[in-house]
Amino acid sequence: MNVNSSFIDTLKHALVSREPNTLVFNDAVLSPAAVLIPIFYKEGRHYLLLTKRTEAMEYHKGQICFPGGAQNTPEESPVDTALRETFEEIGVKPENVQVLGQLDRMSTLTSNFLVTPFVGFIDYPHDFTINRDEIDELVEIPLDILANKQHYHEEEYDVGGEKKRGIVYEYNNKVIWGATARMIKQLAGIVYADINEGGRLL
């Protein structure tokens, strides 16, 4: 297993030391959902693992997102939802995820979900089993890249006929926006003490 124990311990402490907020951007009735933000360690760097969804999906088709989805039952906890969906989409078993903590709950702009994001560490290399009905490809992005202002900007985009402004990340011809971009921005702000200066580990 490739692992940086100091980084994991520091990030876990930072996450569990904060009280997550709830960020809602419209008045719609919201359905509960959850995602996992997988981090892995490869060749001396920490990476985020994201997925590019297929065009066949009902929600967020073709977008780059973290693995996750809607809560199945009221009895299912948000973290169980995130782990179940991660296993269903990319084959990572719940027992192979070290959950480090939670980011702020936030609403999506296009699908009216209230998403609870969990940060988790996974092994690398990993034998992923991709659900091709849902996922086109896996996307790996170095975490330190996401703290660099060269790779993100604020942009206005159309959501259901309304103009919205938000953070947009661009890396290797991949564009990430919406709730996923907001999660990345928040995580980078926790991992790095000053993201505008290129990043310093907590």
Please write the tens of the pLDDT for every residue from 164-186: 788 999 999 999 998 999 999 99
Residue 110's CB is within 10 A of a number of other CB atoms, namely 13
Q: How far apart are CA 37 and CA 170, in angstroms?
A: 18
What pLDDT shows up at residue 22?
A: 95
pLDDT digits (tens, 9 = 90+) for 75-127: 999 999 999 999 999 999 999 999 999 999 999 877 889 999 999 999 999 99
Residue 189 in any domain: the answer is no
Question: How much is the pLDDT for 1?
Answer: 54
Residue 161 lies in a domain: no
Q: Is the pTM of this model over 0.85?
A: yes
**Other beta carbons less than 10 A from residue 194's beta carbon:** 10
180 domain residue, yes or no: no
Q: Is the pLDDT of residue 197 over 50?
A: no
Residue 154 lies in a domain: no
Residue 93, in any domain of the structure:
yes
Supply the range of the domain harboring residue 135: 5-143
80 and 95 Cβ atoms separated by less than 8 Å: no
- Domain count of the fold of the chain: 1
Strand-pairing partners, residue 32, are 114
Residue 162 falls inside a structural domain = no
Q: Within 13 Å of residue 9, how many CA atoms lie on the same side as its CB?
A: 3
Structural domain contains residue 28: yes
CB atoms within 10 A of CB 138: 16
Residue 131 is assigned to a structural domain of this protein: yes
In percent, the amount of the chain with pLDDT more than 70 equals: 90
Query: Which CATH number characterizes residue 45's domain?
Result: 3.90.79.10
Residue 195: pLDDT over 60: no
Determine the 3-state secondary structure of 200 from DSSP.
coil
